[in-house]
Amino acid sequence: MPPPEPYLLPETMSAGSKVLLHVCCAPCSCSILDGMLASSLKPTVFFYNPNIHPREEYEKRKAEIVAFAAKRSIPFIDVDYDTDNWFARIKGLEKEPERGKRCSACFGLRLERTALYAHENGFPFIATSLTISRHKRQDQVHEAGFAAVFRYEDVTFWDYNWRQKGGVDRGAVLARTEGFYRQNYCGCTFSIRMKEEDSQA
């Protein structure tokens, strides 16, 4: 597999810039991280996903990105699995469809925590692997990202389109090469329900 192409960086970013990357899973983030390294950036993995259900699924996804980050010598930040906070955030939105208001609330919670950590720990940029999935609306995730950094003058949300220049295909090849577990639902208990309902329709 050829090496990844360096990313086209915004004017405010340069080689050596620190980026706190919110990561949902290894298959979605592996090509993004390799692209950041190829761009001479300094990524740190930020794993905050209290939406993932059940706990065994959460630990499985976390273990894979921990191992991949270690292979690339990329720092890893493990944040609490505070599911009570997540359920409180999406209360009243349980019956929303995928890509609906529940997903916006979920993205908002996770990226707000990312932005806060970046502000408190000297990361000028945050980004997320959530947008590489074709099952998610990029505009919906980006809206949550920009809202998350709005209160911090020292943190910028990087809304790069990870899907372009073969990013998705490269991620798929890397996932097969690394032998990653490939989940068949987004993560939360409601996305499991939606998938089961679709399969029975």
Q: Check: CB of residue 130 under 8 Å from CB of residue 109.
A: no
Q: 5 pLDDT exceeds 50? A: yes
pLDDT value of position 104: 97
Q: What is the pLDDT of residues 134-170, one digit of tens each?
A: 888 999 999 999 999 999 999 999 999 999 988 999 9
Q: Judging by DSSP bridges, how do beta strands 125-128 and 18-22 pair with one another?
A: parallel
Task: Give the pLDDT score at 195.
Answer: 53
**DSSP for residue 97:** P
| pLDDT, position 194 | 60
CATH topology of domain 18-200: Rossmann fold (3.40.50)
pLDDT digits (tens, 9 = 90+) for 179-197: 998 777 787 888 776 655 5
Which sign does the torsion angle of CA 150, 130, 106, 80 carry?
negative
**Does residue 201 carry a pLDDT above 60?**
no
Percent of the chain past pLDDT 70, that is, above it, reads 96
**Domains of the chain: which residue ranges?**
18-200
Provide the mean pLDDT of the chain.
92
pLDDT for position 66? 97
The residues near 12 (Cβ < 8 Å, ≥ 6 apart) are: 156
Evaluate if residue 102 carries a pLDDT over 80. Answer: yes
User: Could you tell me the pTM of the whole model?
Assistant: 0.94
Mean pLDDT within 84-111 = 94
Say what the pLDDT of residue 1 is. 77
Residue-wise pLDDT for 69-84, tens only, equals 999 999 999 999 999 9
| Residues in contact with 103: Cβ distance below 8 Å, sequence separation at least 6, in sequence order | 96, 136, 140
The DSSP secondary-structure symbol of 180 reads -
Residue 93 sits at φ, ψ, to 5 deg, of -115, 15
